[in-house]
């Protein structure tokens, strides 16, 4: 099942995907996706983000890094103001020289996970959605300490449109993902290239912090990130999960 959240007629509503890709309201009405204001598809709790979790992206940035694929996951947290929904706008600082998108598989926790083993970790996943986690590279101090101006900007992380039940995604590590900027494909990869896989991430994180229902793990992006500008329409897409649309505006 595909579930989402919207704002419509003064109300916040939980919706599902109806026939023909329509948005189905709780009262059964069907609307087009441009007729509603999309919100993040769930009331998320802690937002946990991964950096440098794709081998090809590490290779792409090899001139700037000393990290290797054997290092522990590079993890940081984000606040709720960073999130916006499908078809929302993200501000691009006018002084920034290089701001790029990051197409990511987002993993939503469904039940409490505390010191779980990797073999049992997938039982704690409620579902998946698409994330576009922008970064302003000008503000990056180093890859081991992503600072707040890089990764916790207001509206810098688009997510949605749908939350897909885990049962409907047989293998989260066999999903093609891509980004289009103004209709042109600029990034193409596959979740099979993750360095730290979903079960391992849940086991690692739950070893020192309790994961609660609604927490979300953003699992990183493959290579192919390019600079984007105000006015650009960025589509981040993961096969079987959905297509997330975001537009950049000047800040």
Written as six digits, the tokens of 47 are 């937002």
Indicate if 147 and 243 belong to the same structural domain. Answer: yes
The predicted model gives 81-91 an average pLDDT of 98
| Domain shared by 6 and 64, yes or no | no
In this structure, what token pair is assigned to residue 125? 């996943």
Cβ-contact 227, 248 below 8 angstroms: no
Other Cβ atoms within 10 Å of 49 Cβ, number: 25
Q: 161 and 111, same structural domain? A: yes
State whether 92 and 26 are in the same domain: no
Question: Mind listing the pLDDT tens digit for each residue in 146-197?
Answer: 677 888 999 999 999 999 999 999 999 999 999 999 999 999 999 999 999 9
As for how many domains the chain has, the answer is: 2
One domain for residues 89 and 10: no
Grade residue 72 by pLDDT with cuts at 50, 70 and 90: confident
Structure tokens at 118: 């990797």
What would the mean pLDDT of 6-20 be, rounded to a whole number?
97
For residues 165 and 243, membership in a common domain is answered with yes
Position 148 scores a pLDDT of 79
108 has pLDDT over 70? yes
Q: Counting beta carbons within 10 angstroms of the beta carbon of residue 132, is it exposed (0 to 12), middle (13 to 18) or buried (19 or more)?
A: buried
Task: Tell me the pairing of strands 47-51 and 216-218.
Answer: parallel
Which structural domain range is residue 30 located in?
Answer: 1-39
């Amino acid at each position: 099942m595909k579930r989402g959240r919207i704002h419509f007629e003064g109300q916040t509503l939980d919706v599902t995907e109806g026939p023909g890709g329509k948005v189905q309201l709780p009262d059964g009405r069907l609307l087009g996706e441009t007729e509603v204001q999309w919100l993040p598809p769930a009331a998320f709790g802690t937002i946990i983000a991964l950096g440098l979790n794709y081998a090809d992206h590490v290779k792409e940035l090899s001139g700037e890094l000393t990290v290797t694929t054997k290092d522990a996951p590079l993890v940081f947290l984000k606040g709720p103001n960073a999130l916006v929904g499908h078809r929302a706008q993200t501000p691009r600082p006018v002084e920034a020289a290089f701001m790029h998108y990051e197409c990511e598989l987002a993993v939503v926790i469904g039940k409490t996970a505390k010191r779980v083993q990797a073999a049992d970790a997938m039982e704690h996943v409620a579902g998946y959605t698409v994330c576009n986690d922008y970064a302003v590279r000008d503000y990056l101090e180093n890859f081991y300490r992503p600072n707040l101006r890089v990764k916790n900007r207001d509206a810098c992380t688009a997510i949605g449109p749908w939350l897909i039940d885990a049962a409907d995604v047989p293998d989260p590590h066999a999903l093609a993902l891509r980004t289009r900027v103004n209709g042109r494909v600029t990034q193409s990869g596959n979740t099979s290239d993750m360095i730290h896989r979903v079960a391992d991430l849940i086991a690692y994180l739950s070893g020192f912090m309790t994961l609660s229902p609604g927490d979300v793990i953003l699992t990183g992006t493959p290579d192919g990130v390019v600079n984007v500008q105000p006015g650009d329409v960025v589509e981040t897409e993961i096969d079987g999960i959905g297509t997330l649309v975001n537009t950049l505006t000047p800040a």
